[in-house]
Amino acid sequence: MSFIKNTWYAAMWSQNLPEDGMVHTTVIGELLVLYRDMNGLPVVLQDRCPHRFAPLHLGKLCAQKSRIQCGYHGLEFDNSGLCVHNPHSETIPSMAKVRAFKAVERHSLIWVWMGDSEPLENAIPDFSLFSEVGTNRISRRESIELEVNYQLMTDNLLDLSHVSFLHDGVLGHAGMVRGEITVEQDGSTLHVKRSSPNVAPPGMFDLLYKRNGLPVDFWADMRWNAPACMLNNAGVCQPGSDRSAGISLLGAHILTPISEFRTMYHFAAARFDENVRRNADDERFIFEQVSNLRRYAFEEQDEPMVLAQQTAQIAAGGLGVLKPVLLNIDAGPMRARRLLEELRQIADSSESEDA
Ligand code: FES
Ligand SMILES: [Fe+2]
């Protein structure tokens, strides 16, 4: 499977990259070690020593975090990946270097540019509303590792008709199944919008809204940017009224491929519910419930279904072998797949791709 290389991938939430010490992860098959330099800026290196390929995260940081020392035989590399110290001799072999990746901390995430071309900082999708810290407007920022291909999970997120079945009683219900769907493209950004007027409020939105179960207009507008960075504006309002008079929840759904069949799913939600008054304890309780419900839906409902869907395709020869029957609800996922392929050819046209 080939992945786009010349693009930004969210490696992790900022909160998971400590001030001191190292963490490691894998992005599109590349083993990475991450740490912060003495100024707190993220450093990302290939997590494989060029000597005998020990993972560098098993070593230690030294020289005030300007070097990383391999834990096996002590070669030291600076933050650009060059070997600057060989404890066994005065000679440093010219091949003694590790690859350094451009990294940027933005919107409370650590983004890594995985290709060789010049990184485009303005190409990082806008998740600025997740930059807030210390407010109770942002849910827990969480990450779970899924044993599924990231494009299958993208299909799941760009076709939210499944909430009526897979998330019945939590994020949706049978009464919402006939939604109106529109797909719009703005440059390389895709918007997949779904609305269900005059329906009973889905469970989580009833919790956030008036908790009276009366009908609402429901919407879910998903923004997609390559490779799999999504922002869902979902909400409810009184039937026929302006959306601004209701409440909305903006959900970050960012999928970072680890390998063909493993994906890191980063998610969080920001709420906009100023139209509902609550006391502080009630607010905290409700948003803790929202965090729990979302995690339950993604981990206990989406992942098992997508994994089973993947297993069925692998049994038939692999992903992409079977030709699916297409429904109107597939318009968003199909457009995203086409756009991703176009962008992949443009972004990586000068590079050889992963096999
Ligand atoms: S494996 Fe790193 S110095 Fe030997
Ligand atoms: Fe889902």
Structural domain that includes position 97: 8-123
Do residues 313 and 165 share a domain? yes
Q: Which atom of ligand 1 is nearest to the CA of 56?
A: 2
- The residue whose C-alpha atom lies closest to atom 4 belonging to ligand 1 is 73
Q: Which of 123, 147, 177 is the last residue of a domain?
A: 123
Do 116 and 252 share a structural domain?
Answer: no
Residue 350's pLDDT is what?
A: 59
Q: What is the mean pLDDT of the chain?
A: 94
pLDDT at res. 351: 59
Residue 325 lies in a domain: yes
For the beta carbon of residue 186, count every other beta carbon within 10 angstroms.
8
Q: How far is the CA of 323 from the centre of ligand 2 (A)?
A: 22
Residue 355 within any structural domain of the chain: no
Q: Are residues 138 and 20 in the same domain?
A: no
Which listed ligand is nearest to 76 at the C-alpha? Answer: 1
Domain end residue (candidates: 123, 140, 168): 123
Angle at 206 between CA 202 and CA 207, to 5 degrees: 120
Ligand number with the minimum distance to the CA of 69: 1
Judge if 113 and 207 occupy the same domain: no
167 C-alpha to center of ligand 2: Å?
7
Q: Is the pLDDT of residue 352 over 70?
A: no
The pLDDT of residue 211 is above 90: no
Is there a single domain that holds both residue 110 and residue 195? no
Do 52 and 72 touch, CB atoms closer than 8 A?
yes
Residue 139 lies inside a defined structural domain of this protein: yes
44 alpha carbon – ligand 1 mean position (Å): 18
Q: What is the pLDDT of residues 254-304, one digit of tens each?
A: 999 999 999 999 999 998 888 787 887 888 888 788 889 999 999 999 999
The CATH number given to whatever domain includes residue 310 is 3.90.380.10
In this prediction, residue 288 carries a pLDDT of 87
pLDDT at residue 355, as a whole number: 37
How much is the pLDDT for 283? Answer: 80
**CA of 58 relative to ligand 2 center, distance in Å:** 37
Last residue of a domain, one of 96, 123, 150: 123
Is residue 179 domain-resident? yes
Identify the H or E element spanning 127.
none
Q: Is the pTM of this model over 0.85?
A: yes
Q: How many domains does the chain have?
A: 2
CA of 161 to the centre of ligand 2 (A): 9
Report whether pLDDT(218) > 50. yes
Task: Name the β-bridge partners of 138.
Answer: 270
- Predicted local confidence at residue 133, as pLDDT: 76
Domain membership of residue 339 (yes or no) is yes
Is 36 in the same domain as 85? yes
Considering only CA atoms, give the Rg of the chain. Answer: 22
| Closest Cα to atom 1 of ligand 1 | 52
pLDDT at 68: 98
**Percentage with pLDDT > 70 across the chain:** 98
Give the pLDDT score at 354.
43
pLDDT in tens, 130-189: 998 777 788 899 999 999 999 999 999 999 999 999 999 889 999 999 989 999 999 999
Site to substitute for ligand 1 among 56, 60, 70, 88, most atoms within 8 A of C-beta: 70
pLDDT at residue 200 greater than cutoff 50? yes
Q: What is the CATH number of the domain that holds 115?
A: 2.102.10.10
Q: Are residues 114 and 135 in the same domain?
A: no
Region 94-105: what's the mean pLDDT? 98
pLDDT of residue 318: 96
pLDDT band for 353, please (50, 70, 90 cuts).
very low
Is there a domain that residue 354 lies in?
Answer: no
Instruction: Mark whether 190 and 257 lie in a shared domain.
Output: yes
Rounded distance between C-alpha atoms, residue 287 and residue 293, angstroms: 10
Q: Is residue 240 part of a domain?
A: yes
303-315 vs 150-158: helix axis angle to the nearest 10?
120
Nearest to 219 by CA among 166, 290, 277, 272: 272
Q: Would 1 be classed as within a structural domain? A: no
Kindly state whether residues 168 and 71 are assigned to the same domain: no
Query: Are 98 and 137 found together in one domain?
Result: no
**Domain check: are 119 and 140 in the same one?**
no
247 shares a domain with 151: yes
